[in-house]
Structure 1
Amino acid sequence: MNKTAIILGATGLTGSLLLDNLLNNDAYAKVIVFSRSKIEISHPKLEILIIDLFKISEHQDDFKAQVVFCCIGSTKAKTPDESVYKSIDYGIPVSAAKLCKLNNIPTFIVVSSLGANPKSNMFYNRIKGEMERDVLNLNIENTFILQPSLIDGRRDELRIFEWLWQKAMRLINGLLIGKLRKYRSIKAETISDAMVILDLNGYKNQIIESHQIKELVKNA
């Protein structure tokens, strides 16, 4: 295979791991990163385009690949302005999916969140749910939406509450059994591995919950 892949969100925790995965996978001949900030990585397969991600729809001519991986996401703590938050977590993924449709890119894989629901009373869950709904409505040939629980991993920026919550979750994960197991924390490496598996092998469901992400990687 000589695939070209596009990544959005390659500077984040999951996205940076995914970028490393793709650069070291022979199935991908070229990896294009759309980013608002510089990435200190050099690789013969890598092309970096520094753009305003809020205006990604203006870059249709550069948006050419066989698969698009979207790892874009913020937090309420990092982006307290709800309109800006929606522009990131809803606007960028939906705009990218629309470009996939326009350019006949057959596969769109996006990281959402467990609990996403367009009818939710919780702002975060509602925005993620609206994003999922509108991405699915585009009917891209292969659409996969990952819904991880709390993502466990080391971030460049210090998020005290999230760090403490990760520590707590590691202690109680074993208590979450049966229907509750989907709420166990999940490693960022597992999510990035699953995204590659989904692209190369497909899956039976379009929406993949946290425990299913783990099973997908375990059974690969």
Structure 2
Amino acid sequence: MSRTALIAGASGLVGSRLLDLLLADDTWDAVLSVGRREVDRSDAKLEQRVVDLLTLSGLPAVDDAFSCLGTTIKIAGSQEAFRAVDHDAVLAVAAAARAAGATRFLHVTAIGASPDSRVFYNRVKGETERDVAASGIATTVAVRPSMIDGARPDAHRPGESIGLVAMRAAGPLLGRYRPNKATDIARALVREAKSDAVGHRVLDAGQIGRS
């Protein structure tokens, strides 16, 4: 049976790796990328749509939806702008995917995500997980990486680069807090999408690299 994948956030660190995997995997016959701009990629399987994610609608039929959307408060400019990306846009993609027939929604959140957290970042991520699971899509998977390791398409996060150097050196001592490679996260998303498991589940940082 043919399957179509929807991806939001394909221009980012994890999203760009995920797009490569989806295009190379025969599980999916078509891949639809939605976002504020097109990615620099051409493939017979790929369709790109430049859209406002907060008002996304009218999608063709899709089976599996992936969200790699994410920013930082510093880049977004305020807590409200951060929430608009990491919560509101993700929920809008989930709603549009459900309307288009998606039965699976997989998204990247963060280690420590909890709607009850006192930390704003973790609280928003947790609220996103909760609200995606309540969106009406039969199967949802929240992937919670630690700090994401990989060369970013942009260079706007020097603090993360410094932190990664320290965390790589201390990796064996960090346990589940050791950095997760962007490619491993993308592979985990694909693996979970191809799983027969149903319902709502979370993949913790320590589980991301498992085969």
Give the TM-score band, short-chain normalised: over 0.9
| Residues 170-192 of structure 1: per-residue CA shift (max 9 Å, x gap) | 0111112xxxx211110000000
Aligned to 2:190: 196
Which residue is equivalent to 2:164?
166
Letter in structure 2 aligned against 1:65: V
Tell me if the contact between 2:145 and 2:180 (Cα under 8 Å) persists in the aligned partners.
yes
1:154 pairs with one of 147, 151, 168: 151
- Aligned mates of 1:149, 1:52 — CA distance in 2: 28
Structure 2 contact 106–142 (Cα < 8 Å) conserved: yes
User: SS where residue 119 of structure 1 aligns?
Assistant: coil
Distance 1:25 1:18, change over 3 A: same
Q: Secondary structure at the match of 1:34?
A: strand
1:68 aligns with 2:65: yes
Instruction: For residues 159-210 of structure 1, give each alpha carbon's deviation from its aligned partner in whole angstroms, at most 9, with x where no partner exists.
Output: 211111111110111112xxxx211110000000011111112458711100
Matched residue type, 1:196: V
Post-superposition offset of 1:54: 2.2
Distance between the aligned counterparts of 2:205 and 2:193, measured in 1?
17
- Aligned-pair RMSD on alpha carbons? 1.5
**1:53, CA displacement in angstroms?**
1.6
- Return the alpha-carbon distance in structure 1 between the equivalents of residues 177 and 53 of structure 2: 31
Out of 106, 109, 117, the residue aligned to residue 112 of structure 1 is 109
Q: Deviations over 1:53-78 (max 9, x none)?
A: 2222xx2x225200000000001221
Q: Where does residue 28 of structure 2 map in the other structure?
A: 28
Matches of 2:63 and 2:120, distance apart in 1: 33
Q: Could you tell me how far 1:39 is from its partner in structure 2?
A: 1.7
**TM-score normalised to structure 2 length:** 0.94
Q: For 1:206, what is the secondary structure of its paired residue?
A: strand
CA apart distance, 1:84: 1.1
Which stretches in structure 2 are left out of the alignment for 5+ residues? Answer: none
Letter paired with 1:9: G
1:141: which partner in 2? 138
Find the counterpart in structure 2 of residue 83 from structure 1. Answer: 80
Q: 1:164 to 1:55 in 2, by over 3 A?
A: same
Residue 38 of structure 2 corresponds to which residue in structure 1?
38
**Map of 1:123 onto structure 2:** 120
Native 8 Å contact 2:59 2:96 kept in 1:
no
2:9 alignment counterpart: 9
Q: Contact (CA 8 Å) 1:63, 1:99: kept in 2 or not?
A: no
Gaps of 5+ in 1: none
Higher-helix-fraction structure: 1
Q: CA deviation at 1:134?
A: 0.8
CA distance in 2, matches of 1:202, 1:21: 19
Aligned mates of 1:202, 1:169 — CA distance in 2? 34
Distance 1:39 1:102 in 2: 25
Equivalent residue letter for 2:209? K
- Asked whether the 8 Å contact 2:59–2:100 carries over to 1, the reply is no
Aligned to 1:210: 205
TM superposition shift of 1:46: 0.4
Count residues in correspondence: 209
Q: Name the SS of the counterpart of 2:14 in structure 1.
A: helix
